[in-house]
Chains A and B, each alone.
Chain A
Amino acid sequence: MSGLKLIDVSKSYGATRVLDGVSLAIAPREFIAFLGPSGSGKSTLLRIIAGLESLDAGEVRLGGARIDTLAPGARGIAMVFQHYALYPHMTVRENMAFGLVNAHVPKDEIARRIAQAAEILEITAQLDKKPAQMSGGQRQRVAIGRAIVKQPQLFLLDEPLSNLDAALRNRTRVELAQLRNRVDAALIMVTHDQAEAMTLADRIVIINDRRIQQVGTPAEVYARPANAFVARFVGSPAMAMLPATLDGAEGGRVQARLAEGTMLRTAVPTRGLEQGAAVEIGLRPEHVTLAAPGAEGLPARVELVERLGDRTFIYARLAGGPEIIAHAPGFSQVRPGDEVRLAIDAAAAHIFAADGTAHHPDARP
């Protein structure tokens, strides 16, 4: 059985194009996150899959059959809405049964499925309550339960954690991870929170500006972002981007000169890069540290210090303006306004060409 396939899906609202030729294949039982900023088109794509929006061009196939021409209820898809969308005048049990009754599932089968889902989600005691009598977290479980009992081929989760407070969010994240093991279906979660996407998904689909920017495992999109947008969007704090000029090569690896003159020997192959081109050097905080006293390093002025307990992020500005983020272990004593020297692991640097295309370092020898 094949999973979900999107073939060249496009969508416009009036003259505004929101999705442009999106193609994607998702395996059965795969957990996918659609990650992107607000207005990127990720929710529209989810709603097109659900059948709540029509598409202008393209196809949606699920389990080998074309579904974009079917009514939402006939697609074998269940959705957990951002604001849960529980039926307020129905009890939890009626909420969960509604879709099954409409599908003419036999009564005892409905009762069996509800009992099972309620037990998994620990809402058995709440089955005869109305949504208004429940907390946000419980309502979320009901919404998930309503999706589970339908035994769909595909679950759609629209910003499932955005309405929960921080403590509940972490717990629900664990529960969502468990959910995917219990259900025999693919899951697609829409989120703008990259931490959710990184921790939950098998693969992340990064969407921006009407298009898919990259599809990859969390490790791939983090270590080998396809372009400057993905590099900036994935990772927290974000990757620093330093303007530089390509200036020679050594052993097939590019050398780049930063604006203030420092030469970096990167591990990026020369293939596809032109000498003298203006590029950006991408550096994650974990590859920038404070230089040992007396050692060489890039001079920078500290602007902001984030102490997280186990490590400290140092937001600094290089001579000439570009911002860079360094990390230090534990509780650093550095203060805003300090002049520091930064040691850069040039072998981990990424290079982004003027059009945004990424060039990654080769694996180290």
Chain B
Amino acid sequence: MTTAAGAWRERLAGYAFVGPFLAVYAAVLVVPLIMGLYISLNNADLFGRREWVGLANYVQAMGDPVLHQALGNTLVLALLIVPPLTAIALMLALALNRPGRLAAVLRGVFFSSLVLSVTIVTLIWRFILVPDAGLIAEGLEALGRPPIPFLSDPDLVIPAIAVTTLWWSLGFPIMLLLAGLQQVPGDIYEAAALDGASRWTVLRRITLPAIRRTLLLVVMLQTAAQLQIFGQAQLLTGGGPGGASRTIVLYIFEVSFGRWELGYATAIAELLFGMILTLTLLQYWLVTRHEEPRP
């Protein structure tokens, strides 16, 4: 009796620990995902109107030129952000992975941009990018050159958003990579020194293989994050000029809260979800397919 009661109590305690998280996870993620799937099959608005249309919203998405442009913008942004972000974060992490006060201070400095909200970040970069009295414009003027309209030239607006995002997003990948680097046992670097490995060889053959899982994590997280890029585009350019910087999430926002076509917006959101899931799983498979299963 007592042991059965004890086991039951133990199990209950287990559920009590997991329960709150499961409830919140279900309420804010699982339920909306399923509801979203349902809504995407309807003509729906924000007042609760639902009219079953089957896959019509998805068919519309396939032929929507605005969505195609937004998809292109988003993919270009992700390509302009994720690889350089990973490379720069790696270089900074390698440089900051050492004892000493200066490195500690700089780790804090690079991490600090992460705690700023997107509003502050775009405000700061607005001061830098705007053609009248912006920081870059002032610099160019001092050199006797005309200002560059970063936020209104269709060719420059995407790179401008990418640079803003790079600056804002560096902190977290640096922290992840520093944590990864600190997991590498020091004696294999000593062994490599005795094996006469050059710095470049050590980086290529020792360090990078040792942190490949952390690198993969950084790339996956950043890919997922940058495909959902929204705030910077919304606040810096509002998607302009002429949709040149409209991203998918910005388009979803416009369709749902501007045009009130909730069903169509949800269908695009589900497509985006599928795309992010596919891309990140593909990255995971590409990196880990040659590895033995971990013990």
Where the two chains meet, the residues of A that have a C-beta atom closer than 8 Å to any C-beta of B are 50-52, 71-74, 77-79, 81-83, 85-90, 98-99, 102-103, 130, 132-133, 146, 150
Q: Interface stretch among B46-54, B168-176, B184-192?
A: B184-192
Please tell me the number of chain B residues within 8 Å of chain A, measured between CB atoms: 20
State A83–B186 Cα separation when bound (angstroms). Answer: 11
Q: Are A130 and B206 CB-contacts (below 8 A) given A73-B193, A79-B191, A102-B196?
A: no
Main secondary structure, interface of B, reads: helix
* A287: min CB distance to chain B, Å: 44
Chain A residue numbers with a CB within 8 Å of B190 are: 50, 52, 72, 79, 81, 85
Partner of B194, one of A87, A89, A99, A132: A99
Report the separation of the CA atoms of residues A78 and B209 in the bound assembly, to the nearest whole angstrom: 23
Contact of A98 with B185 at beta-carbon distance under 8 Å, contacts A81-B191, A132-B295 already known: no
Which residue of B191, B192, B196, B209 is within 8 Å of A74 (Cβ)?
A: B196
B196 touches A73 (CB 8 A): yes
Known interface pairs A87-B205, A89-B210, A132-B295. Does A73 touch B195 (Cβ–Cβ under 8 Å)?
Answer: yes
Q: A52-B190, A83-B185, A102-B201 are in contact. Are A88 and B210 (CB under 8 A)?
A: yes
14 inter-chain pairs at a CB distance below 8 angstroms, sorted by A residue, are A50-B194, A51-B194, A52-B194, A73-B194, A73-B197, A79-B194, A81-B191, A83-B187, A87-B205, A87-B206, A98-B197, A102-B195, A102-B196, A130-B292
Question: A82's closest neighbor in chain B, by CB?
Answer: B187
Asked whether any CB of chain A lies closer than 8 Å to the CB of B198, the reply is yes
Q: Which residues of A contact B187 (CB under 8 A)?
A: 81-83, 85
B6 vs chain A, min Cβ distance (A): 38
Question: Measured between alpha carbons, how far is A81 from B196 in the docked complex, in Å?
Answer: 16
Q: Give the top 7 A-B pairs by smallest Cβ distance, nearest first.
A: A73-B196, A99-B195, A85-B187, A85-B191, A89-B209, A102-B196, A72-B193
In angstroms, Cα B293 to Cα A133, docked, is 11
Q: Would you give the shortest CB distance from A186 to chain B, in whole angstroms? A: 16
Chain A contacts for B292, CB-based, 8 A: 130, 133
List the B side residues contacting A71 at CB < 8 Å: 193, 196
A87 in contact with B193 given A98-B205, A102-B201, A132-B295 (CB within 8 Å): no
Give every chain A residue within 8 A of B193 (Cβ-Cβ): 51-52, 71-73
